[in-house]
Chains A and B, each alone.
Chain A
């Protein structure tokens, strides 16, 4: 499949290839994804690099089962959801502007309020 992806890239005369990502949701955020915590997704190739802002739009269109307002507000995640990229707070990575790399891990955690 790598060959086929690369051939696609050649067609577009760019080095950009499809992006394979691991998306994990937990702390209750998975309920927005029909209760499924782990998603292995492939983002289609595009001429510009994928950033997190675009990923949020893609997730809304392709993964969210219900009530997108409980996941995003404006162009960012709603208050109470923490985004982690490769096991680091996304604030350390550039938040919405972070350019996604192939095989990146993106986690959406909802804060727990129990005990």
Chain B
């Protein structure tokens, strides 16, 4: 699934060279402070020589990196390249947080995980890969979900700067507020489809996430990777971009994205840098009279769950829905019916039930006359058989319910005198419970 990242960069702590086994943490525990490194070893000099040659980094910058602790929340499409480049560059300590396990559908973009890591905690898989790259980086894998209860305690252990790449809305506000309350910058990025965005929030007097977005968006306008899709290299580019900004902050150069939004359009191969508003005096968390002084219930604030799993809608009454098992027996009994698949064409190309009629939900919503006519023709054919219902299916059983509602409103059309039902759980339930050979995506 799409994970998200926070990176807390600490320059108070030092590198601890850990060669011990990686231990997966399921809760936040106090970290032992580490001692500062006085000078680079010969091995350090050789390993980092190509970047030591840069006047922008130099020995002092490298020593600063080695003193830095970074917390990455989410070891996915952004977190993987971020962790990889930070470790390669010689960051001191990496906290790697993710509540999820590695799935096959992650591998096209979450490039630290391999086929053999399927089912493993992402945090552990990422930490193992990072350790293989640079054993001098201390890695602390956390297999847990960031929450109002643990966020401050965790982020405070990675003091100085924060980088975040985020997906779900409640977690974005949670991370932002935790960073503001503990006084840490937040380097935030996100990627979807063929686009990426990056900003450093709460940095050197600049705006925080709430300054830009005081009110959460309506949940129906939020799309995640498993719904909207994403080309793997796009979060890869944005995760590398985050690593760049962390390295600039950690080495002492500073980030120039503090009051700036960088937009990346992968289709046009174009970056745009946008000057953002300054810190807002009226901001609820970083303003002059903040109303948010501790972490609260972000799911209630946003009206959304702090997860990137798809939510399940319940728009229809029970008698308007059937299970995939019910539908299987309708097929087995050769009952006359019409199966309407309302997924977008790009998904129908991936897989479909061969006897389904495909009309995307968007075409129904827009009342596209050609498609509606086709639907009416098929419905009147069905009526000639004197029986049969219209069943609506999609990937997971959300859009199919919306489609039933849209068609119910088509009063006066052929559709309004037929029984409409939605198939619960959609094609993925069909694949899971009825036909294991049907592809899942």
Q: List A residues at the B interface (Cβ < 8 Å).
A: 26-28, 65-66, 70, 78-82, 84, 87-89, 91-92, 107, 109-115
CA distance A102 to B218 in the complex (A): 33
Which residues of B have CB within 8 Å of A88?
274-275
Interface size on B, residues (CB 8 A): 52
Do A26 and B166 have beta carbons less than 8 Å apart?
no
The yes or no answer to B79 lying at the interface (CB within 8 A) is yes
Please judge, given known A-B contacts A79-B215, A112-B190, whether A87 and B272 are in contact too, CB under 8 Å: yes
Nearest chain B residue, comparing its CB with the CB of A70:
B221
The yes or no answer to B181 lying at the interface (CB within 8 A) is no
Please give the distance in Å from B32's CB to the nearest CB on chain A. Answer: 31
Interface residues of B in 126-185 (CB under 8 A from A): 165-169, 172
15 A-B pairs with CB atoms under 8 Å apart are A27-B192, A27-B197, A82-B212, A87-B272, A87-B273, A89-B212, A107-B274, A111-B217, A112-B191, A113-B169, A114-B77, A114-B193, A114-B230, A115-B2, A115-B166
B75-92, CB under 8 A of A: which get 1 and which 0? Answer: 011110000000000000
Please give the distance in Å from B190's CB to the nearest CB on chain A. Answer: 4
Which residues of A have CB within 8 Å of B74?
115
Which residues of A have CB within 8 Å of B3?
115
Do A87 and B217 have beta carbons less than 8 Å apart?
no
Nearest chain A residue, comparing its CB with the CB of B280:
A91
Interface residues of B in 195-238 (CB under 8 A from A): 195-197, 212-218, 220-225, 228, 230, 235, 238
The yes or no answer to B57 lying at the interface (CB within 8 A) is no
Please give the distance in Å from A92's CB to the nearest CB on chain B. Answer: 6
Please give the distance in Å from B145's CB to the nearest CB on chain A. Answer: 16
Please judge, given known A-B contacts A26-B263, A114-B2, A114-B167, whether A79 and B218 are in contact too, CB under 8 Å: yes
Interface residues of B in 367-391 (CB under 8 A from A): none
CA distance A111 to B191 in the complex (A): 10
CA distance A81 to B189 in the complex (A): 16
Do B78 and A115 have beta carbons less than 8 Å apart?
yes
Which residues of B have CB within 8 Å of A78?
217-218, 221
Top 4 nearest A-B pairs by Cβ distance? A80-B217, A114-B192, A91-B277, A79-B215
CA distance A88 to B196 in the complex (A): 18
Please give the distance in Å from B295's CB to the nearest CB on chain A. Answer: 20
Contacts A80-B213, A113-B222 known; 14 new A-B pairs at CB < 8 A = A28-B192, A79-B213, A87-B275, A89-B275, A111-B190, A112-B192, A112-B195, A114-B190, A114-B193, A115-B74, A115-B76, A115-B189, A115-B191, A115-B239
Nearest chain A residue, comparing its CB with the CB of B276:
A89
Please give the distance in Å from B6's CB to the nearest CB on chain A. Answer: 12
Nearest chain B residue, comparing its CB with the CB of A38:
B268
Do A114 and B228 have beta carbons less than 8 Å apart?
yes
Which residues of A have CB within 8 Å of B2?
114-115
Do A113 and B77 have beta carbons less than 8 Å apart?
no
CA distance A79 to B166 in the complex (A): 17
